[in-house]
Amino acid sequence: MTDQGNEIFSEGSKTNFTPADYEYSTLMRLLGVSVSKHLLDEHFTLVWANEFYYEFTGWSKEEYETTFHNRPDLYYKKDPKEWQELTNVVYNAIAAGEKGYKLLSRFRRKNGDYIWIQLSTQFSDEYIDGHQVAYTVMTNIDDVVRMQKEQSVTYESLPGFVAKYRIDPHLNLTLLEGNSRFMEYFGAGQDSDNSLHKENITKNLDVILSQRENFLSGKPAHFVMKVQSRTGQMLWLQVNASCVDWQEGCPIYLAIFIDITDITELRQMQKKLTEQADALRDALSVAEHANQAKADFLSRMSHEIRTPMNAITGMTTIAAANINDRQRVADCLEKIASSSKHLMTLINDVLDMSKIDAGKMKIAHETFDLQNVTESITAIIYPQADAKGLKFSVPLVDITDTVLTGDALRLNQVLINLLSNALKFTPEGGAVRLEIRQLQKKAGRVRLRFTVSDTGIGMSQEFMKHLFTPFEQESTATGRSAGGTGLGMPITKNLVTLMGGTVSVRSEPGKGSTFIVELDFDLPDGRSSELPQMRQTVESLKVLVTDDDKDSCIYTALMLKNLGIESDWVLTGQECLESVRRAHMDGSDYDVCLIDLKMPDMNGIEVTRRIRELADPDTTIVIITAYDWSSIEKNARQAGADAFLSKPVFASTLYDTLLSATTGAKKIILLPSSGIEKHWPGLSGRHVLLVEDNELNREIATELLKMTGVMVDCAADGRQAFDMFLEHGDRYDLILMDVQMPVMDGYRATEAIRSCGHPRAASIPIIAMTADAFHEDIVKAGDAGMNGHLAKPIDQELLYKTLTDIISKVSS
């Protein structure tokens, strides 16, 4: 068998060739591969081989047989490692029941050189002398292996990291291979978790996607990415990638990653230094502007403060020089009072601006009644408008809820600022209007729009750009003549912003201005602004509304409709009289006539007198006025008026008036008086403990209290006040407590009084009377146990009213 095989594949012997043998021999020559037959014994004995087998070894057939006796184990004697690897592979394949094996291995030739071969062996079903036969093909792949080794060496020699990727049409990168430095640094090897490698790809996906067009077309790509190593080190890498092959339509890219971390960090440091330098320059510029603004502010404040102070000191000097001229002294005192109020306004504005700028302005969230706020504002603005010859109106539109939650004090301040400005810059004969409109109500909140409009001098478009800048006034002369400080609008804007609202303005020179403020307010839980559930009492009434303001008529008619009353309304006194006359002739007299006091054709008193001549004597006539009705009360009653309503008219007061008409009780609805009451009978004979460390302030407060018949004891500090209360507490109706005092301040003194064992410790009214006038100061006074708060300088009317209200509550 062996001889026959060798004879068949030997070039020297052709005698026994069959056509099939010749065809097989030719095929082997064309393929140029080694084919051999072996026994699977301990030597892997060679049974036969073709000529290429011997060419692989470098030995002739005769030399091979003589030297190694056809035993491969002897051929591999000098290469025990390779022989051991070969036998292990063979036996493992047999044990696993496989049909053959493949092995890449080194093979020594006769001259001692090694070549790399690919062994491909197939186990057959043939046996010789009890040993299974195997057929082996050896292929010379030395060039391929050497090329790979050279490529690997090249990869390892390149500066940086090297990797090869396949990139699919969706730009998914599959790592095919990488140099050892890459694999070790990023843990991307086959035996390691490559999640970090994927994470680095994901983090740089944006920059990879920016190269989409290049990748999908096989063009070179260059970009920078930031990656993290297995040890957590962050690196900046410059990526230079080139397409080296295509597989199934996908480009294969060889990428070289060059570490540029030091350069990048240096650039970033330079960038940061540049940015810091720019920031320092900006900060310097801001500081310079701030210093200039501070200098301008102080200069302006010096001027603003000195102007009223000059008037005060000057008028004081003049009054002293004319002490016997009562008229001259009275004139000086009036001007001193006016200048003092202006100075107080300026100080309050500056303090408000300071707190806003420092972020210390707090917005309250407390329940209040919009009606009270509106009445307070009208009580202040109406007399000023009337004194200046201006028409002032406060129409209410779609108001359904008046009990709200928010900051009533700041709302009052915003509206007073806007209305005061409107009064200042509107000449005689003009009009100022405050419209309060409910825009929406949902989810326990209401949105109100406050529109303050006037027919005054207006503003230019250029000035409106700086309207909310402190101390800005379009005309210094105009501002000075109007008594403005230039702080009202900035404060207004900031307060509205703090309350979460918006403020806008429309104006044109000579055509007046309109300010629109929109604010949201919460509706208190369990509180309702709806009218009492007694509508059946007033539904049968027939009402006539007379007012020259159409919006007021419509709104009043709407409120009446909500009560179930279908009313009529007219715009003039003459129309009112004609409506009353027709109703009387038809036998359907009006039960109630609501008549505005001031109308263009005739006033409300005259209309009332004529109605009494025409209508049923049981008709109730209510005069609606925005002014102090005390001056016209006598004439109005003589003309036949039954009651008075203050503008603006709210649903609750309207209901009270109608209810009084149905019950026959002619109820008088009092308008808050704008004048200073000269007599407060409820205070006469009361005993007050005044706690004040400043001697001049103590003298002023004492004299103001004595004007109403109040008896006053004085204490110079909190400790002295506490001792006096312990000894004479039963005699005092009320304590007026300063806050900032030596020995013991007002807060500690109040807490000491409240916690002492005196029978009246918990019930004695204690009112803070202090220059600490901010909202948080009022809250702090309440927390200390005080019943009220009065801000200095003392407002005489407010002092008397506060004392009267608190003492009357305690007495009742």
How confident is residue 471, by pLDDT bands cut at 50, 70 and 90?
Answer: low
- DSSP-derived 3-state class of residue 637: helix
CA distance 523 to 167: 63
Q: What is the pLDDT of residues 602-626, one digit of tens each?
A: 989 999 999 998 887 888 899 988 7
Domain end position, chosen among 305, 323, 357: 357
- Do 389 and 507 share a structural domain? yes
Looking at the fold, whether 370 and 514 belong to one and the same domain comes out as yes
In a domain, residue 450? The reply is: yes
More confident residue, 272 or 382: 382
Q: Provide the 10 A C-beta neighbour count for residue 544.
A: 24
- Clarify whether residues 387 and 514 are in a common domain: yes
> What is the rounded CA–CA span in Å between residue 421 and residue 750?
40
E-state strands within 272-409 = 366-369, 391-393, 396-397, 403-406
Domain count, the chain: 6
Q: Contact 244/254 with Cβ under 8 angstroms? A: yes
Residue 672: inside a domain: no
- The pLDDT of residue 676 is above 50: no
Q: What whole-number distance in Å separates Cα of residue 56 and Cα of residue 52?
A: 6
Residue type, 450: F
Q: What is the mean pLDDT of residues 783-793?
A: 87
177 shares its domain with 198:
yes
- 21 plus 85 within the same structural domain: yes
In this structure, what CATH number is given to the domain that contains residue 371?
A: 3.30.565.10
Instruction: Name residue 49's beta-bridge partners.
Output: 36
Q: Tell me, what DSSP letter sits at residue 538?
A: T
Q: pLDDT confidence of 356, banded at 50, 70, 90?
A: low
C-beta separation of 31 from 139 below 8 A = no
- Locate 272 and state its tokens: 């940061």
Expressed as residue numbers, the domain containing 550 is 535-663
CATH number of the CATH domain containing 308: 1.10.287.130
* Position 348 confidence tier, pLDDT thresholds 50, 70, 90: low
How far apart, in whole angstroms, are the C-alpha atoms of residue 734 and residue 412? 29
- Give CA separation, 744 vs 24, 102, 143, 698, 720, in Å: 124, 103, 103, 17, 9
User: Per-residue pLDDT for 670 more than 70?
Assistant: no
The answer to the question of residue 589 being in a domain is yes
DSSP 8-state symbol, 631: G
CA distances in angstroms from 644 to 65, 282, 339, 599, listed in the order given:
141, 63, 35, 16
CATH (domain of 171): 3.30.450.20
Domain co-membership, 796 together with 774: yes
Please state the separation of Cα 676 from the chain's center in Å. 46
pLDDT of residue 366: 85
How far apart are alpha carbons 609 and 310 in whole angstroms?
52
Evaluate if residue 650 carries a pLDDT over 60: yes
Virtual torsion, Cα 580, 584, 587, 591, nearest 10 deg: 50
As a whole number of angstroms, the distance between CA 174 and CA 155 comes to 18
DSSP per residue, 100-151: EEEEEEEEE-TTS-EEEEEEEEEEEEEEETTEEEEEEEEEE-HHHHHHHHHH
Query: Are 590 and 649 within one domain?
Result: yes
Q: Indicate whether 714 and 732 sit together in one domain.
A: yes
- Is the pLDDT reported for residue 359 higher than 70? no
Shared domain for 374 and 492, answered yes or no, is yes
The string over 72-99, giving b where at least 16 C-beta atoms fall within 10 Å of a residue's C-beta and e elsewhere, is: beebbeebeebbebbeebbeebeeeeee
Q: Within a domain: residue 60?
A: yes
Residues 333 and 238 in one domain: no
pLDDT of residue 673: 37
Residue 671 located in a structural domain: no
| Domain boundary, last residue among 92, 113, 140 | 140
Mean pLDDT of 349-359: 59
Q: Exposed, middle or buried by CB within 10 Å (0-12, 13-18, 19+), for 715?
A: buried
Domain contains 677: no
Q: For 542-569, write each residue's pLDDT tens digit.
A: 899 999 888 888 888 888 888 788 889 9
Q: Which residues of 309-318 are buried (b: 16+ CB within 10 A; e: fewer)?
A: eebbeebeeb
Going by C-alpha positions, the residue among 680, 793, 688, 800 that lies closest to residue 737 is 688
- Residue 295: φ, ψ to 5°: -65, -45
Other C-beta atoms closer than 10 Å to the C-beta of 19 total: 7
pLDDT, one tens digit per residue, over 425-443 is: 899 999 999 999 999 888 8
Is 442 part of a structural domain of the chain?
A: yes
Mean of the per-residue pLDDT values of the chain: 80
- Whether 674 has a pLDDT exceeding 60, the answer reads no
Q: Determine whether 191 is exposed, middle or buried from the number of CB atoms within 10 Å of its CB (0-12, 13-18, 19+).
A: exposed
Share of the chain above pLDDT 70, in %: 78
The answer on 200 and 269 residing in a single domain is no
Q: Per residue in 713-727, pLDDT tens? A: 999 999 999 999 999
CATH value at residue 785: 3.40.50.2300
pLDDT, tens only, 496-543: 888 889 989 998 898 899 999 999 999 887 554 444 444 545 667 889
Residue 790 has a pLDDT of 87
Top pLDDT among 365 and 351 is at: 365
Which of 140, 161, 181 is the last residue in one of the domains?
140
At residue 270 the predicted structure's pLDDT band, cuts being 50, 70 and 90, is low
- pLDDT of 672 reads 38
- So what's the pLDDT on residue 684? 86
Whether 70 and 191 map to the same domain: the answer is no
Residue 680 resides in a domain: no
- 8 A C-beta contact, residue 737 and residue 691: yes
Give residue 360's pLDDT band: very low, low, confident or very high (50, 70, 90): low
* Model pLDDT for residues 65-113, shown as the tens digit of each residue: 999 999 999 999 999 999 999 999 999 999 999 999 999 888 999 998 8
Task: Tell whether the model's pLDDT for residue 209 goes beyond 80.
Answer: yes
